[in-house]
Structure 1
């Protein structure tokens, strides 16, 4: 096994050991920002093909679709790329009866998955709030270092980050540096 001397710690550190963290990009998908009257949520749910959550922070997911309620009348929606046109058509048909805003933000964002027993440790390196208190199946808009993200806790050890492309390299770089620190046990 390869060893590296780490002078700030003053000891040799094993390099190349398996680390309890995996960081990867998520397959591309259709992404939408939806603003909709919450009193008519059933109509939006039907148009999207998934029962949209009715409480801020809740997440709903099924058949490759994901919805996170970010505000009283705001949802972040994800769908398979092949279904993007269908989602847009369904909401366009709904517009005459129920005015709303559905904005395609697919070009703006990328997804990053952080998974493993060290996922919380990696995310704590750049997120100020208590991530441990966030239960699985919840999501929120927050700040990762200086970048705004949508963070979804999919399971106890798997998180999804949705970040603007212009900040993606920054977020990725911090996650990679943190991963290296975890690997070196520093």
Structure 2
């Protein structure tokens, strides 16, 4: 029987970053982490991570203690950009175990086999826009707007019961 454990990870600072990819080097220097330019790829440095969600959009995560410094660094940028804190908007779940991919696949059209470890994607889960990151072969993070979390949690709980029953 496959199982998947769902937990709420330790909080991180979370930001939505929008900037012209032509300015990636300037922004990378200010934020102390390189900007990945291929959608779905992720870079990490010094506890900070950037996931490319679109041609000019990234999800930046960092230790909470870095939030103020990140905001100050972005405020000093001389290139047009948008950096918005999204900790209050998003919630994150961690799914791990041999059944984690199966559990997600129950309500997600995205083929998780196409997401390598360390990368991620924006997709839908039971009709809700989510961001999935593959942390290990059998471990994922799922982030979504806070208002959708009761629904997503209920769908995941139902999926866990199905996995436990061998359905």
TM-score (norm 2): 0.94
RMSD: 1.4
1:137 aligned counterpart, secondary structure: coil
1:62 Cα offset (Å): 3.7
Tell me, in whole angstroms, the C-alpha distance in 1 between the residues paired with 2:48 and 2:124. 24
Tell me, in whole angstroms, the C-alpha distance in 1 between the residues paired with 2:2 and 2:111. 23
Tell me, in whole angstroms, the C-alpha distance in 2 between the residues paired with 1:168 and 1:55. 29
Aligned 1:149-160 pairs, distance under 5 A: 149-160=130-141
TM-score (norm 1): 0.85
Aligned 1:33-72 pairs, distance under 5 A: 33-72=16-55
Aligned length in residues: 167
Structure 2: which 5+ runs fail to align? none
Residues 51-107 of structure 1: per-residue CA shift (max 9 Å, x gap) = 12121110123443221101111101111111100000000011xx21111111111
Tell me, in whole angstroms, the C-alpha distance in 1 between the residues paired with 2:46 and 2:138. 21
Structure 1: which 5+ runs fail to align? 1-17
Which entry has the higher C-alpha Rg, 1 or 2?
Answer: 1
**Runs ≥4 residues deviating over 4 A:** none
